[in-house]
Amino acid sequence: MNAFTPRTGRTIATVGAVLSAALLLSGCAAGGSTPAANGKVTLNTMFLPATWGTVVKEKLAPEYEKETGVKVNVELVGRDAIHEKMATLFAGQDSSYDIFNLDYNWIPEFGAGGDLVDLTKSVSSADKADFLPLALDVATWEGKILGIPQTIHPAVLWYNTALYSDAQTKADYLTATGTALAVPKTMDEWTTQIKFFNGRQFNGQKLSGWAAQAAKGFGNVHTWLSFAYSYGCKPFNGSFSKSTLSTPECIAATQKWAELMKYMPAGANEFTYDNVTTSAQQGTIATAIQWSWGQFATDDPANSKTVGQWSVAPIPAGPTGISSSHLASWVISVSRFSKHIDEATKFVNWLETKKNDVAQAANGGGDPVRSSSYSNTTLTGQKLAGSDVLRFRRLPVVLDVMKSAKPRPFFPAEESWETTLSTQLSPISLGESSVVDGLKKADDAENKSLAG
């Protein structure tokens, strides 16, 4: 297996170097999966330090230990570091860690390498039917379920309802455009609104028309993908043997994305998820393309001036009527080299029972992965403190967009592909390269990589 390091596309140079690093990691780990003093197993896990990781560490792992006596050590590790450690540990067949939290696009890479346990038989037919189809699809490689879905959060359109319902704003928009202000359903409608809002004052703030992740590395790719999919752009042929970014559909999508970049806040080319969230909290943007799950942060009165104001809608449709969100999703997988595969498998399935899917969402740990959770009154009935605003008002839209959302290109070298494309999208967004030239360079670089 070629083990690509995150974002750089570099392969690990020698087996000897990998094995040395693996041994070092093994020595630094918490002793591997070893029997505890009471004879019970201790599982070592690696989770993302996002809310779904902290919920597992602080609430669910201690609860599991009380129920079963099995101790679960949860180490919170950054995204790229998880990927790199997995590649190193697997190359050395190291058993130090039993369970990993995976960004779903790693499933083909580590699945192709045979590094993940096939969990298919551990998931009941009823559970398979309850998981959102796309969430289960991206946890599956070559017909094997290699991860249990933990959270989904597709990209959606955020819009400030206080702004959209403001009488003066609506009157001015009607005068300026001849149409009534409403949540945009098409890219053309949204473009008109972005241009209208950009530079306008609202509640003492000067607005930018929109914001989204745009930082070089992966942020710009993740935003671009919602434009691409909504324009019918397919980045590869069906067998992932040829890059197809220079098609008319991909060019049109990229032109629209690059055009709208002009109406983002200053410094937008460095914007990450946190920058977009902060802009929404401060009320300095009118709209955004952002992960659905992030809405919880705008409802935090300790950090937000716009509590209860943000709602979500599907990504505005492209010229052919397609609205398709780029999917974000995380799964939980078991290492093939674990010495306690059965116990690890029990834990990952327990984490995503119906009860715990709801519990994770209720604690801010991402949007649910089970269809049944979207009608569970524990979530649907919750309101923000001191108001009639529903805390989980986004869920009906999330459930709907999951029917047409699409994952990143699902093949083993996806991490390297993101780096290649991101490198060319950055100068396009800065106006240093034309769309056609940038996409051709990305095609050429990726096709060279595929041929190699």
Residue 57 lies in a domain: yes
Same domain, 101 and 121: yes
* Residue type at 314 in one-letter notation: P
Same domain, 242 and 341: no
Q: Closest Cα to residue 215, out of 435, 7, 408, 9?
A: 7
Same domain, 310 and 423: yes
Q: Is 5 exposed, middle or buried (0-12, 13-18, 19+ CB in 10 A)?
A: middle
Half-sphere exposure for 132 (CA within 13 Å, toward CB)? 29
Q: What is the pLDDT of residue 398?
A: 98
Q: Which domain holds residue 73?
A: 15-152+329-380
Residue 169 lies in a domain: yes
Contact (Cβ atoms closer than 8 angstroms) between residue 355 and residue 73: no
Classify residue 5 by its DSSP letter.
P
Residue partners of 67: CB distance under 8 A and separation at least 6: none
Residue 399 lies in a domain: no
- Helix, strand, coil percentages for the chain (3-state, nearest 5): 45, 15, 35
Q: Closest Cα to residue 90, out of 52, 51, 48, 146?
A: 146
Q: Is 175 exposed, middle or buried (0-12, 13-18, 19+ CB in 10 A)?
A: exposed
Cα–Cα distance measured from residue 442 to residue 436, given in angstroms and rounded to the nearest whole number? 10
Same domain, 249 and 268: yes
Classify residue 315 by its DSSP letter.
P
Contact (Cβ atoms closer than 8 angstroms) between residue 2 and residue 413: yes
Same domain, 305 and 362: no
Residue 46 lies in a domain: yes
Q: What is the pLDDT of residue 40?
A: 81
Residue 232 lies in a domain: yes
Same domain, 40 and 113: yes
Q: What is the pLDDT along the chain (452 residues), one digit of tens a residue?
A: 333 233 333 333 333 333 333 333 333 333 344 454 456 899 999 999 999 999 999 999 999 999 999 999 999 999 999 999 999 999 999 999 999 999 999 999 999 999 999 999 999 999 999 999 999 999 999 999 999 999 999 999 999 999 999 999 999 999 999 999 999 999 999 999 999 999 999 999 999 999 999 999 889 999 999 999 999 999 999 999 999 999 999 999 999 999 999 999 999 999 999 999 999 999 999 999 999 999 999 999 999 999 999 999 999 999 999 999 999 999 999 999 999 999 999 999 999 999 999 999 999 999 999 999 999 999 999 999 999 999 999 999 999 999 999 999 999 999 999 999 999 999 999 999 999 999 999 999 999 999 98
Cβ-count burial 187-196 (b if 16+ within 10 Å, e if not): bebbbbbbbb
Half-sphere exposure for 173 (CA within 13 Å, toward CB)? 23
Q: Closest Cα to residue 420, out of 159, 235, 279, 185?
A: 235
Same domain, 89 and 190: no
- Is pTM beyond 0.85? Reply is yes
* Residue type at 238 in one-letter notation: G
Cα–Cα distance measured from residue 286 to residue 283, given in angstroms and rounded to the nearest whole number? 8
Residue the block writes with tokens 């003492």:
204
- Domain count of the chain? 2
Same domain, 418 and 275: yes
Same domain, 49 and 163: no
Residue 1 lies in a domain: no
- CB neighbours (10 Å) of residue 4? 23
Same domain, 134 and 74: yes
Same domain, 104 and 126: yes
281: its two tokens: 């909290």
Contact (Cβ atoms closer than 8 angstroms) between residue 250 and residue 435: no
Residue 355 lies in a domain: yes
Residue 220 lies in a domain: yes
Q: Is 270 exposed, middle or buried (0-12, 13-18, 19+ CB in 10 A)?
A: exposed
Give me the CATH number covering residue 180. 3.40.190.10
Contact (Cβ atoms closer than 8 angstroms) between residue 141 and residue 331: no
CA distances from residue 92 to 20, 74, 335 in whole angstroms, order as listed:
8, 22, 12
In order, the DSSP letters of 28-73 are HSSSSS-B-TTS-BEEEEEE-SSHHHHHIIIIIHHHHHHHHS-EEE
Same domain, 205 and 193: yes
